[in-house]
Structure formats: structure tokens, C-alpha cells
Amino acid sequence: MGPSVDAGRARYPYAEVVMHPTPTSPAAPTLTPISTVLTPSERLRVDAAGEGLYRAMHRESLDDVVRDVKERGASAVLVSVQRCDAPASQGLARLVREFPRVSTVALLSQVSERTPETMMSLGRSGVQRMIDVRDARGWRELRQVLMVSSIDDVQQLALGCIATDLAGAPADCLRFFAFLFSCAPRVSTVRRLSRELEVLPSTLMSRFFRAGLPAPKRYLAMARLIRAARLFENRGFSVANVSNHLDYSSPQSFGRHVRTLLRVTAVEFRQQYDGAAMLEHFRSELVLPHLVALRQLTPLSSPPGWTPSRRSVVASRGSDAARTMRTLPTTMH
């Protein structure tokens, strides 16, 4: 601790120091990753079409694409019709079968004598969408398709159900639930959740406690399991893949998380819940029994007449337990 702080404590032995958080610049938005097997000319045009929307990982084989889906969270796969020979069709069939929730799109940029046969082969492989990008309309359609694929439909379902359940609730209560289902996987603690929502962790927890509601930590943990159940609908994902997607420290950590919340193993969780079933569990445990309290909850709003001040912000360091500290006097004698 610096000498100025020691001097302050010597003069004011009962005073403690407020640790102010260091200002940080906002993080750049994360682009949705997609994996491709394309011709060189198609790669350039796909990159240009997806500027600001997605990040294309260009690969030479479907084996590399499968690794992108498992390990790097690719939300869609884009395959050139020109690159689809017989072995590729077999690999596509396996990809579609094992990862049905990952959009697989065929891209047609030019026509050759083999094109009709290749398109029939793609259909037999289970590829249900082909986009003709030989004119500008096709590129607009591609952007739209990939934009939709970046939004998980179980998240949309969750937001719709919760908005209906909590009709008439304060805006910041709805904002809390909307963030639960749309935040990045790295938001895994109440501390980080509070930082993103611009509220102190102690304030957020106390407002739920005073309202007689489950802790915000439980809402966050259950929302993460909805995402996990959705990912497990892809048979090609292992427990390790899902834990990696959701930013758990290890598959063992994910297993402990599941056992703590649901009293089942990770394998039993996979067998018993899909995304929709886990959403219903979330609603039946954390929303529907607490409708009256939730419809009056304002977890993020500041009290009337309160003005935020840097000197009122206490930064927690080390453990999750917040440490309340008083400021040193502004005038030193």
C-alpha cells in the first residue's frame, strides 16, 4: 500500500479507503463465427458481405469445419456447391445429422454441368437451404439467413415466454431477464452480471432478497443450463464441448454445476432435458411461483433522488463477498 494511504491511516485510524474501479474502454462487439468450405473467389465475397455481421473461418475440409463447430462455437456452416464432391456429401450428411441446430447452407455462385447432380446430392445429405448468389439479391438473402442463425431460437422462445409471464412488470425487471438470455457465456457470476447491468452486486442481491425472491445467482445459473440443454440437442457435442461453449472452467465444473442445481449428472441432464424442457423448468421454479413479486421488482433502478457518485462506488477485490469501505476525509490537516 502506498505511503500516502499509510499516512492517511496514521492520522485517521478509523478511516478506510474506497477502492475505485479502473475505467476500462468498452469491449468491441463479438462477431458471430461461421465456418466455410468455399472457392477462393467466394471467400472474398463472403467476407465482404458479412462485414460487421459475422466472422468467417475458411477451411479446406469438413473435418476442420466440425472442429470449428465443436471447439470454436461456429453457429452456421457455409459450403460451396462447387466444392461438394461425393466424399464431401457424405461428410455433410454426418454434419447435418450430428448438429441439427447448426445451420448448414449451400452457396451457388456459378453453374456447371455437375451442378444439378450436386444439388440432388446435397438434398440427400440433408442440406435444406441453398442460396443463389449470382446476383445481389442472393447476397442480401445470405446476410439475412446468417443473421437469423446467430440468434438461438430457444433464447427467442425464452424471451417471448418471460415477457408474457411478466406482462406489466417494470422495464428494468424485463431488462434483467432479457439480459439473462442474451448475454455472452462469459457472464457467469453475479459480479460480472452486475457490472454489465451497471448495478452493484450487493444492491442487486439485496433487492431480490427483500422481495422474497430466489437469488439472482440462481436465475443466472438456470438460464445457463437452458443454453446447455439446447446445445446438447446436437448429438455431436460432448460434455466437454458444451462446457467449453459456455465458458465453464472444465467439464468437471459443468458437471458439479448441474448436480448442484438439478441433482442429476451431466449425462442424465442430457437425457432428460432439451432446451424447451429446461425453459419450462426455469419458469416453473423461478418465474410462475413469484409472479406478484416479479411484477413489482425494480432490480436496476436507482432510488428516487439518488445521484451516482464515484465516491459511492465500492470495488470488490479477491472474493465475491463485497467489502464496504468508507472514504478518507477530503481535507487532510
User: Are 273 and 228 contacting, i.e. CB atoms less than 8 angstroms apart?
Assistant: no
Residue for grid cell 473461418: 57
Name the 3-class secondary structure at 26.
coil
Phi, psi of 38 (to 5 degrees): -135, 170
Burial-class residue 104 by CB neighbours within 10 Å (0-12, 13-18, 19+): buried
Q: Which long-range contacts (CB under 8 A, 24 or more apart) does 152-157 make?
A: 152/227, 152/230, 154/226, 154/227, 154/230, 154/275, 154/276, 154/279, 155/181, 155/182, 155/227, 157/275, 157/276, 157/279
118-129: b or e for each residue (b if 16 or more CB lie within 10 Å)?
bbebbeebebee
Q: Where in the chain is the domain with CATH 3.40.50.2300?
A: 32-149
Name the CATH superfamily housing domain 154-294.
Answer: Homeodomain-like (1.10.10.60)
Name the 3-class secondary structure at 16.
coil
User: Are 105 and 35 contacting, i.e. CB atoms less than 8 angstroms apart?
Assistant: no
β 54-58/103-108 pair status: unpaired
User: Are 19 and 5 contacting, i.e. CB atoms less than 8 angstroms apart?
Assistant: no
Q: Where in the chain is the domain with CATH 1.10.10.60?
A: 154-294
CA distance 290 to 307: 30
Check: CATH 3.30.1360.120 for 32-149? no
CA distance 43 to 289: 51
Measured in whole angstroms, the distance separating CA 129 from the mean position of its chain's CA atoms is 26
Q: Each residue's pLDDT tens digit in the chain (333 positions)?
A: 444 444 444 443 433 333 333 344 444 456 778 899 999 999 999 988 888 778 889 999 889 999 999 888 888 899 999 888 777 878 888 888 888 888 889 999 988 888 888 888 888 888 888 999 998 889 888 888 877 665 566 777 888 899 999 999 999 899 999 999 888 888 999 999 999 998 999 999 999 999 999 999 999 999 999 999 988 988 888 999 899 888 898 999 999 999 999 999 999 999 999 989 999 999 999 999 999 999 999 998 765 544 444 333 333 332 332 332 233 233 333
pTM comes to: 0.66
What's the angle, vertex CA 38, arms to CA 36 and CA 39, rounded to 5?
160
